[in-house]
Structure 1
């Protein structure tokens, strides 16, 4: 991360009048307890904090930059003279108060992980206006040329803010514990559409400007953690799925996406019946190009989704259920710091499973839970075993092994459900979301709430639950719950027969869901002969599969055996898929194969890197460098 100062100011095409935060909502509370201190921000919110952000930005595809202004409403403690913001690679042109009077400011030294602290002398101001421009390579932004889109005709841009990337395009206090309301005006080329994670104020087509460009305006009147401010610009279209929901996508993907996500209204109903009303108004979805680095991102009112979950059988719509569940756990009640990310992801993984059970029955939910158990044990093993510090739920931010925030966190909550009973547990969770709505939370805060409102001084129950061991200790407590799937048990029988030497033709995978495929492919012993791998590939059509999950699992197995006939498929795959969950295991597998694999990893990455989101490219580079 580099910060260079320059007098760069992009004049707005029209005046923009921000709405004061006081006109939309009261400032959200912040936590000041020691465990709520965020080491991933330069901000000092107890001194002065941002309560509202108003953006007026021009999207320039020619320079691959955003330029314009950010107007910040400031809530300062008595006697406070400065506010500290987070910035990363922003060229700051000027800082003024609401009347246009220049304010003193400076940008501190660059931290390679956190960017820089920007300090502004308030001089009594309660609103500051920052004129700035982003730089090429901003960590939150991915600019795609036309050839990397589904339509192949027009460029595309999207943002990915979690966990601390939004400071590369918004000068604000980039911490999940400092919730902010916001609004934005985006000016884009006239043949493109802009969408954001907020209420649309200018319609689906925006406002046509005299120069042919279009302006789109948005408003989020609920305080959200700043990583949830998100946008995308592209040749995208909308299709309604119901009174509260719809999907945005490029034209070639729109009908497929609408069909795949056809149950979303039922999901909203199921989630609301479980844990209280959906409080965000609409729930729309945006299907991004394959370069999107995650399965989904829970941006309020507009979930971002990878096209890799669209397989034609709705077997991966658990991803949609997961992002919808974040509307309660994550967006409504948010981890105050990234040391407690399990409060977002563990809660949401548990909630997602309950939504799937409500819609599709216990067995389908059991399939997902059983696979999560596999992932839980696999991550603990990869971390170094039960005593590894990275198997703790609460710890250093970003240090949890694999997906343990998701798997161990959700099992923690499932254990409580099984121990106290579902009815009692559901009543508690509903009240928990109500009590802490639009507020940050810590592990310590959750445990205190649990003890006050669920345990109520029941010492025997406290002993049985082992709450502190789950939250703060390494490994997996002995009261963990393993849900077993009858469907996957049948796959295990086929796997055992194949592993014992049976023919691949006896597997007969017709009609398998993604989950059944993964159980089978991930369960195959890693040491296989070339003949056996060739038989498996040719009989089951693995290299030719259109299911991105299946191909990833197959390529992991091929890499483990240095199976060179799979290398052309591997190269095409890592150059066409940017989802970290699917490609990172392939690069890690290659690096375990000595120089043979390392060379392939380096060569494939050199070709694929321009297609990856900056965060994904950085993660893969770290794998190849051995970090």
Structure 2
């Protein structure tokens, strides 16, 4: 279970005290008890060390953990109390845990307890779930693993793990590891992850969960009330895995399952190995939002298999993943479908650049996040600008050559980390330098270390969106929504979102009422459509949508939706007071990842 020695010499990680420690972890044995009454995890983390002789101490990252004791273990497993101390506290980075080593130390056992307010953990009461039982889930990315586990919390440090987790007997525990498919009577569960992963991919969930198998290697976990809907929505899961393998090589994690979480989950999905966490907001009923699943699946190669070395290199995860996701969707549903996703992505990128500022260094692909929460790097820059760079490269060298490069890249650096400088060297050696002038035509430095979107970004267009634009033009020229209705019957969620984004901001409440009567936007069960619709209702003062908006904000925790809706609400005359009132009621339903952004915006 020893991970491979890294072949990439990574730069120091500014977000991990452990990054500078010469002694590294290689295997974790975790033993935890989940206490729903006190909202804590308690137990021990036993770390096997890869090179204990390299220094007189080992350093871990922690944040808001109570360290009760630390023991050194020799080769025979004999424990001896170890001296340790915690460094100065930082609100973002937490405290470094320094543990003294002895000459015969091969492992350390850290006894600890989490805080009820641990930022990675969300404890949900039964009323906040789809059932009658409480629920717990973790969100470790980017640097929140240290709030529930003393670890070397850098994406460039990988380890294997095993775990024993004790939960109430009527609940099921799952991890980013080999998982049980049904609960047992004891409440004791055992897990094993034999492929090395970084700490941000550590995951735990506990709840009233059931499993439905979709294929020999795919399945769905969800609360009983949600499972039938989820099973229908994700029926193409095995096809997605097979398509991904056809593009970029074998799936290396054996099992690919999804866990549908309660609606407070702050992201669309989280690519925890073997068990992707997903939001229920993609359960649209028509499988129209499953590109998110393709995205999380693609992370099994770009991110989980080859990982960004530091959070400054985050585009190496997300840019590749967005490109890969859309290739999967094109393989399954055709080029016209993928083109819609590209247009929506490019629109989001332009919006982000305008919001950040076209000249801002935060629009570079290679970020400079030292001294800041790496969560600030989770923008469309890393996702969509990264994808656009690969589209520009594809336009220059052709798909076959680019596919060969990407497939070999994943194979060459499997289970390792990659930083931007090393990747650029690899790109030049394996692709760009083989054709004189190619790097200049690509304008590589403008993409990686330049602001905004380079001038050679490939144009993006969608034939299906052209039909939507025609409908918008008809609406502007006086055609009523009811008259447009027959031509929209086959539209996907993406076409409706493009339609709503294209509506002029000058529409009156009466005009919105006509649109609502024809297309039933306010009562839509599609979160993407609602998030595009509500800003119009707020701007026009369309009161008929107010209750639906407030219900959405109280129950949905996905940050992608919450931030623009709260901003739209705050921009209305009575919005600040309304926003504060709704937020005070809704905040307990949100994860710390969401409240970390919204506290500064709303309060």
With the length of structure 1 as denominator, give the TM-score of the two structures: 0.92
Aligned CA-pair RMSD = 1.6
**In structure 1, what is the equivalent of residue 586 of structure 2?**
608
Contact 2:172 2:182 in 1 (8 A): yes
Summarize the alignment of residues 292-371 of structure 1 with structure 2, pairs less than 5 Å apart. 292-371=265-344
Identify if the C-alpha distance between structure 1 residues 234 and 433 changes in structure 2 by more than 3 Å, giving closer, same or farther: same
Decide which of 363, 371, 395 is 2:367's aligned counterpart: 395
Deviation at 1:562, TM superposition (A): 4.2
Q: Give the distance between the partners of 1:396 and 1:495, measured in 2 at CA.
A: 41
**Residue number in structure 1 paired with 2:59:** 84
Q: Which residue of 1 aligns with 2:409?
A: 432
Aligned to 2:433: 456
Q: Does 2:387 match 1:406?
A: no
2: CA distance, partners of 1:390 / 1:324: 27
Give the direction of change, closer, same or farther, for the CA distance of 1:401–1:149 in structure 2 (3 Å limit): closer
Instruction: Tell me, yes or no, if the aligned pair for 2:182 and 2:210 is still in contact at 8 Å.
Output: no
Cα distance between partner residues in 2 of 1:366 and 1:403:
17
Offset of residue 298 of structure 1 = 0.5
Q: Counterpart of 1:514?
A: 493
Structure 1 residue 457, shift from structure 2 partner: 4.7
Tell me which moved more, 39-48 or 607-616: 39-48
- CA apart distance, 1:139: 0.5
Matched, 1:623 2:595: no
Residue number in structure 2 paired with 1:472: 449
Determine the structure 2 residue equivalent to 1:420.
Answer: 397
Displacement of 1:78 after TM fit?
4.4
CA distance in 2 between partners of 1:248 and 1:401 (Å): 27
Would the aligned equivalents of 2:2 and 2:27 in 1 still touch at CA under 8 Å?
no
1:233 lines up with 2:242 in the alignment: no
- Paired position in structure 2 for 1:39: 14
User: What pairs with 1:102-121 in structure 2 (closer than 5 Å)?
Assistant: 102-121=81-100
Is 1:219 matched with 2:192?
Answer: yes
| Aligned residue among 171, 178, 183 for 2:157 | 178
Instruction: Kindly state the Cα deviation for residue 32 of structure 1 after the two structures are TM-superposed.
Output: 3.8
Report Cα offsets for 1:421-446 as digits up to 9, x if no partner: 11111111111111111111111111
Render the CA deviation track for 1:137-173: whole Å, top value 9, x for unaligned. 110000100011111x110100010001110000001
Counterpart CA distance in 2 for 1:170 and 1:193 is 20
> Shift of residue 40 of structure 1?
0.9
Residue 192 of structure 1 deviates from its aligned partner by 0.4
Distance 1:135 1:333 in 2: 32
2:234 matched residue in structure 1: 261
SS of 1:507's partner is: helix
1:8 maps to which residue? none
Looking at structure 1, the residues matched to 224 and 153 of structure 2 have their Cα atoms a distance apart, in angstroms, of 34
Q: Which runs of 5+ in 1 are unaligned?
A: 1-23
8 Å contact from structure 2 (residues 217, 255) kept in 1: yes
Q: Deviations over 1:214-243 (max 9, x none)?
A: 111111111111100101100010000001
**TM score, norm. by length of structure 2:** 0.95
Instruction: Choose which of 107, 115, 129 in structure 1 pairs with 2:109.
Output: 129
Offset at 1:590?
A: 2.4
Q: Deviations over 1:47-95 (max 9, x none)?
A: 1112212110000001010000000112336451111111111111100
Cα offset, 1:501, TM superposition? 4.1
Moved more, 350-359 or 473-482: 473-482
The question of whether the paired residues in 1 share the 8 Å contact of 2:174 and 2:206 is answered with yes
Residue number in structure 1 paired with 2:250: 277
1:401 shift after superposition: 7.5
Cα displacement (A) at 1:45: 4.6
Contact 2:21 2:58 in 1 (8 A): no
Q: How does 1:145-156 map to 2 (within 5 A)?
A: 145-151=125-131, 153-156=132-135
Counterpart Cα distance in 1 of 2:21 and 2:188? 36
* Paired residues of 2:306 and 2:418 also in contact (CA < 8 A): yes
Q: Distance in 1 between matches of 2:4 and 2:48?
A: 10
Tell me, yes or no, if the aligned pair for 2:170 and 2:183 is still in contact at 8 Å: no
SS of residue in 2 equivalent to 1:199: coil
More off after superposition, 497-506 vs 518-527? 497-506
Q: 1:30 to 1:294 in 2, by over 3 A?
A: farther
Say which of 120, 133, 146 aligns to 1:140.
120
Q: Cα–Cα, structure 1 residues 448 and 247, in superposed 2: closer, same or farther, change >3 Å?
A: same
Could you tell me which residue of structure 1 aligns to residue 517 of structure 2?
538
In 2, Cα distance between equivalents of 1:463 and 1:182: 45
Match of 1:69 among 21, 41, 44: 44
The alignment partner of 1:109 has SS state of coil
Q: Deviations over 1:471-494 (max 9, x none)?
A: 110011111112311111101111
Q: Which moved more, 1:255-264 or 1:501-510?
A: 501-510
Runs of 4+ in 1 over 4 A off after TM superposition: none
- CA shift for structure 1 position 456: 2.8
User: Is the 1:393–1:400 Cα contact (8 Å) retained in structure 2?
Assistant: no
Give, in whole Å, the separation in 1 of the partners of 2:106 and 2:541.
Answer: 62
State the secondary structure of the residue aligned to 1:48. Answer: coil
CA–CA separation in structure 2 for the residues paired with 1:468 and 1:607: 47
| 1:72 partner SS | strand
Judged with a 3 Å threshold, the aligned counterparts in structure 2 of structure 1 residues 154 and 207 are, in CA distance, closer, same or farther, namely closer
Q: Name stretches of at least 5 consecutive residues in structure 2 with no aligned partner.
A: none
Cα distance in structure 2, aligned partners of 1:443 and 1:496: 44
Distance between the aligned counterparts of 2:380 and 2:579, measured in 1?
Answer: 23
For residues 510-567 of structure 1, what are the alpha-carbon distances to aligned partners after superposition, in whole Å with 9 as ceiling and x for unaligned? 3321101110111112232222222222332111111111111111222233444432
